[in-house]
Structure 1
Amino acid sequence: MPGPRMPQLIKFKNCRILRNSRIFEDDIWVREGKIIDPEKVFFDEKNCADVQVDCQGAIVSPGFIELQINGAFGIDFSQNENNVEEGVSKVAKGLLAHGVTAFCPTVVTSPKHMYHQILPRLRKRPGGPHGATVLGVHVEGPFINVEKKGAHPDHCIRGLDKGFETLSDVYGSLDNFRIVTLAPELENAMPVIEELTKRGILVSLGHSVSDLQCGEEAVGRGANFITHLFNAMLPFHHRDPGLVGLLASERVPQPVYYGIIADGIHTHPAALRIAHRTSPQGVVLVTDAISAMGLEEGTHTIGQMTVEVRGDRAVLAGTDTLCGSIASMVACLRTFRGATSCSLVEALEAATLHPARALGIQGQKGTLDFGADADFVFLDEALNLSSTWIAGECVFRHGARPC
């Protein structure tokens, strides 16, 4: 009697794959949603792969990982308390068209009751045809400096009066947390950073007037990310470079990862070049997109604030203050590569490997190494996306042809 049949084996051929920081021609073998080592597959079985996918010379990159997105397609994660699950599902599905296979829904500074209503329902979940993987929530605020509030409502900004007790009281359960953005100069911030780090939550420094010394201490306590570099922080000064100085500090382990909004609006091309040339291994592309991404010009919301979309930018209603972007990850990739003249590999790793490393999930996401999740995208040299795949299954294809 024949033994049990092995799970389906999928061979992706005619690929140019991104692996080990280079692009080269090779096949990709997938079984049970994972990339497998073909040397461990029997010869006869390889010749009879259950499914063969012709990549037609496409570049196959790991799927993009988005660590800071406030919403999109009319959904605002900070205001959608009545339909949280439905809103996350809509964004997760829509992001597949942008090559995003995993993301952290981001909740900005809000009243305490909103955190208690929304955060428990922003649950981690695997990706698939229904949408990108939800890695966990990024909570940006309210423990930030009011002097660098940006688009955050000042009446909701809080101090850490009782340290971690205050944080727990404001947020409630931390079960779904992945990243917390806070200002390290706040009183009691350092022990809070230590406790969050012990719990496996990435601490990001942002919306801050911190000097370099304070930033270095925060990194020493466990923080290892900077929220939207250059935005909502002290500008670089030659006598005290502030949080920007962490990119070149000799007192902290390198790299310190930093999110950067390469939408052509939030960060000048020269600033993108400075950051990339100073710390190319730390750059993480983020969109910081708001609910208006994917929508037409008009009035929308982010958290407790009303915003206006004017052309290619979003501003607080009645002002010129930027409040998140409306750019896609693919658009940010093109802008970043054009501004920095970096290689295609460097651009792609800023949206794949680096965010995975920042979260410590590079064994599963952000690479095409053996054993990693088979989440990837097909692209051309100009970074035009043709399809998105999760667990070896096509979940989006550009144009009329369905997956």
Structure 2
Amino acid sequence: MKPNSGLTRFHNCFILRNGKIIKEDLWIRDGKIENPEQIFYVEQLEADVTVNCEDLLIAPGFIDIQINGGWGIDFSANSDNVEDGVKKVAKELLAHGVTSFCPTIVTSNKEMYHKTLPRIQKTQGNKDGATILGVHLEGPFISLAKKGAHADEFIQYPEKGLQSIMETYGSLDNVIIVTLAPELPGALEAIKGLTAKGIKVALGHSSASLAQGEEAVRSGANLITHLFNAMLPFHHRDPGLVGLLASSTDKQVFYGIISDGIHTHPSALRIACRTNPEGLVLVSDAIAAQGLADGHYSIGTQSVTMEKGRAYVTGTKTLCGSTAGLNECVATFKESTDCSTEYALETASLHPAKALGIDDRKGKLNFGCDADFVILHPKSLKVLSTWIAGECVYKSPSNGTANV
């Protein structure tokens, strides 16, 4: 065997691969996951570094495709320091096991998009923060009736299709997802134009019927934004966008869902995952109050009070967004649905990777994939360490395993 191979071997561990948790070593080289048979029998190499995992669980790194900010940072704030804010959140997310994310910007004015979008660039993750896959633009092409907390003065229709999109956003180079309401004038043409550019389209903040949703899917949309929230409630004669979970369209429709223990009832989580298990994508949808201690804050133009870990509009008991990390959402989802550990972990890794079309390299621990993973306690699923491209980028202070 030859030394100085650049190989790292994770030994005495359980790994999640192909939907099963198995006892097997994980081999890493040059930021990728390696096939040990190639190493042993063809190259005849041995590892430079061996990590004893002491029976801990290794799972693909979590991918958050909808997160509005955290730790006092609001991605939709028209800030001159937007780059610094995104970097701060990217760094903090490592403690949640998040190795990749999509900074999300809600309905804003045209000037904000033109100023901010060029400055949130797709970035490979490292010890300074999680990978930025691209921006998720949630609005302004949404239904006024289902605007939720979005500012109605900035809502508009994509009447000229992709031209309206381009005029509003400017450059789309750093964009990976656009959420829009499919029933709006020009929406279907906008969907076709966006998907032709390789941008994923999510349906949300919408009063669309099931027929309108199905037409949007046929036009190229493949996602639903925060299922059950900001859309028509399920009705047996017209189930609306919720009906896409059991639609007759041949295309797999993915859907984001918030399992923070507050926004979606456990029964609704169970209905969704049993109806369309392959499409479920856990999202944090966290706001700037995520990670803040109890107290009073000004976030953008809104006064927010954190009380026992929940964010309220100051002076009320009105919740103003999620404050749970994606790792917490995984644990809550598993408890609420009594699903397998394998499935719970894949809803925050494999499924979002599939939804974005990047599962050839992320969301899996298959040979040749990016070595983005998280080491967890096998029962509590507590994040003990986070790794990007084979580099340890976060280690829990309470991690009792010295070698991990």
Q: Determine the structure 1 residue equivalent to 2:86.
A: 88
**Separation (CA, whole Å) in 2 of partners of 1:388 and 1:202:** 27
Q: Would the aligned equivalents of 1:153 and 1:304 in 2 still touch at CA under 8 Å?
A: no
Q: Would the aligned equivalents of 1:151 and 1:322 in 2 still touch at CA under 8 Å?
A: no
Q: Determine the structure 1 residue equivalent to 2:127.
A: 129
Most deviating of 308-317 and 99-108: 308-317
Alignment of 1:175-214 (within 5 A): 175-214=173-212
3-state SS of paired residue (1:358): helix
The partner residue of 2:258 within 258, 261, 283 is: 261
Q: Determine the structure 2 residue equivalent to 1:57.
A: 55
Q: Would the aligned equivalents of 1:150 and 1:322 in 2 still touch at CA under 8 Å?
A: no
* 1:326 and 2:323 are equivalent in the alignment: yes
Q: Would the aligned equivalents of 1:71 and 1:106 in 2 still touch at CA under 8 Å?
A: yes
The number of residue pairs the alignment matches comes to 399
Paired letter, 1:378: I
The partner residue of 1:365 within 353, 362, 365 is: 362
Shift in Å at residue 135 of structure 1? 0.3
**Separation (CA, whole Å) in 2 of partners of 1:284 and 1:270:** 17
Shift in Å at residue 49 of structure 1? 1.1
Q: Determine the structure 1 residue equivalent to 2:32.
A: 34
Q: Determine the structure 1 residue equivalent to 2:143.
A: 145
**Separation (CA, whole Å) in 2 of partners of 1:321 and 1:152:** 15
**Separation (CA, whole Å) in 2 of partners of 1:96 and 1:80:** 25
**Separation (CA, whole Å) in 2 of partners of 1:77 and 1:332:** 21
Paired letter, 1:153: A
Q: Determine the structure 2 residue equivalent to 1:287.
A: 284
Q: Determine the structure 2 residue equivalent to 1:338.
A: 335
Most deviating of 5-14 and 323-332: 5-14
The 3 A distance-change label for structure 1 pair 72 and 183 is same
Q: Determine the structure 1 residue equivalent to 2:21.
A: 23
Shift in Å at residue 111 of structure 1? 1.2
3-state SS of paired residue (1:192): helix
The 3 A distance-change label for structure 1 pair 62 and 346 is same
Most deviating of 188-197 and 313-322: 313-322
Shift in Å at residue 316 of structure 1? 3.9
For structure 2, list consecutive stretches of 5 or more residues without a partner in the other structure.
none
Q: Determine the structure 2 residue equivalent to 1:117.
A: 115
Deviations 1:223-282 (Å, cap 9, x if unpaired)? 0000000001111111111100000011x1253100000001110111001001101111
Deviations 1:10-53 (Å, cap 9, x if unpaired)? 11111100000000000111110000111111459766311111
Q: Would the aligned equivalents of 1:374 and 1:389 in 2 still touch at CA under 8 Å?
A: yes
3-state SS of paired residue (2:25): strand
* 1:352 and 2:361 are equivalent in the alignment: no
The 3 A distance-change label for structure 1 pair 94 and 279 is same
The 3 A distance-change label for structure 1 pair 18 and 219 is same
3-state SS of paired residue (2:128): coil
Most deviating of 256-265 and 71-80: 71-80
Shift in Å at residue 309 of structure 1? 3.0
For structure 1, list consecutive stretches of 5 or more residues without a partner in the other structure.
none
Shift in Å at residue 68 of structure 1? 0.3
The partner residue of 1:172 within 170, 173, 188 is: 170
TM-score by length of structure 2 reads 0.94
Alignment of 1:67-86 (within 5 A): 67-86=65-84
Shift in Å at residue 117 of structure 1? 1.1
Q: Determine the structure 1 residue equivalent to 2:101.
A: 103
**Separation (CA, whole Å) in 2 of partners of 1:143 and 1:167:** 9
Shift in Å at residue 186 of structure 1? 0.4
Q: Determine the structure 2 residue equivalent to 1:230.
A: 228
Paired letter, 1:394: C
3-state SS of paired residue (1:41): helix
Shift in Å at residue 290 of structure 1? 0.6
**Separation (CA, whole Å) in 2 of partners of 1:391 and 1:377:** 11
Identity of counterpart residues, as a percentage?
58
TM-score by length of structure 1 reads 0.95
